Amino acid sequence: MKKVVVLSVLITLVSVAAVLGVARYVMQAPWKPRPEGTPTPAPSGAGWENLLEEKNIPLWKNITDDSEIFEIKDGELHILGRSMTTLRYAGYTGRAFGNFDLHLEFRLARRTNSGVFLRVRENDPVRRGFEVQVLDDHRRPPSMTGTGSLYDVACPMFNMARPAGEWNSYDISVQERRVVVHVNGWKVLDTDLARMTMPIGKFPIAFAELPLEGMIALQDHGGEAWFRNIWIRPL
């Protein structure tokens, strides 16, 4: 019995020592700076079109059901975020886009999940296009489902998301099957969909087989999101 008690005490002491050692390491570990980005301004010049200017506002539709999921007011498209279970999408129906440069700015309420969907089809945006994730994940490590990711397919180099309530910018270039993403002025992703010849992540279709043109859509996945300065330049 004494041996059991002694062994138990030794195990406890070793465990406490291990915890103290880890705590000491964490407290003494050098502080590592994180990159901080700044939203880029709206572009100007030949070829750019503002998708939120007056003439284009009626071309934004709810492309997945008949519920009211967004409103456009004072130059901002507001995703109302009333449902946490049903995925719904506000799509620009004016035309399909193939190769393009896209600039937009967004800010999120706390815990909001949204996304910028590109080259999508009405009524099936998830499987007939791809998503650049929009998420309230400031200061979390970069991930395949975090801000700036090609959702569940490609991880960004950095997570450049700013805190909830602050504006962020995306500058996205899509040419053939190459996708380049800048978040708040930092290039975080440069990937070639042509190499993705087999399904990746949760998607049943190889990204190399996705259509080369489609509409732009913004996702309602629960939580409020605001988008402004949505500018596109077809290439």
What is residue 145's three-state secondary structure?
Answer: coil
Q: Which two tokens stand for residue 228?
A: 């402004």
Asked if residue 229 has pLDDT above 60, the reply is yes
Tens digit of each residue's pLDDT (9 = 90 or more) over 153-180: 999 999 999 999 999 999 999 999 999 9
Q: Which amino acid, residue 193?
A: L
Overall average pLDDT of the 6-18 stretch: 46
The pLDDT of residue 123 is: 72
Question: Is-contact 147 156, C-beta < 8 A?
Answer: yes
Q: Which of 203-207, 209-213, 214-218 has the lowest mean pLDDT?
A: 203-207
Percent of the chain with pLDDT over 70: 83
pLDDT digits (tens, 9 = 90+) for 179-192: 999 999 999 999 99
Of 4 and 61, the one with more pLDDT: 61
Beta carbons of 151 and 130 less than 8 angstroms apart: yes
Beta pairing partners, 171: 103, 182
**Closest-CA residue to 121 (of 150, 96, 87, 153):** 96
Give the model's pLDDT for residue 67. 75
- pLDDT of 62 above 60: yes
Reported confidence tier of residue 12, pLDDT bands at 50, 70, 90: low
Give the side-chain half-sphere CA count within 13 A for 183.
Answer: 27
130-150 residue pLDDT tens: 999 999 999 999 999 999 999
Least confident span in 35-39, 49-53, 142-146, 224-228: 35-39
Do the Cβ atoms of 159 and 147 come closer than 8 Å?
Answer: yes
CB neighbourhood size of 26 (10 A):
8
Q: What is the pLDDT of residue 222?
A: 84
Q: Rounded to whole angstroms, how far apart are CA atoms 86 and 222?
A: 8
Tokens (6 digits) for 19:
């915890």
- What is the residue whose two structure tokens read 């970069």? 142
Percent of the chain scoring above 90 in pLDDT = 72
At 1, the pLDDT band (50, 70, 90 cuts) reads low
Question: Tell me, what's the pLDDT at 25?
Answer: 47
Residues in the chain: 235
What pLDDT is stored for residue 131 in this prediction? 96
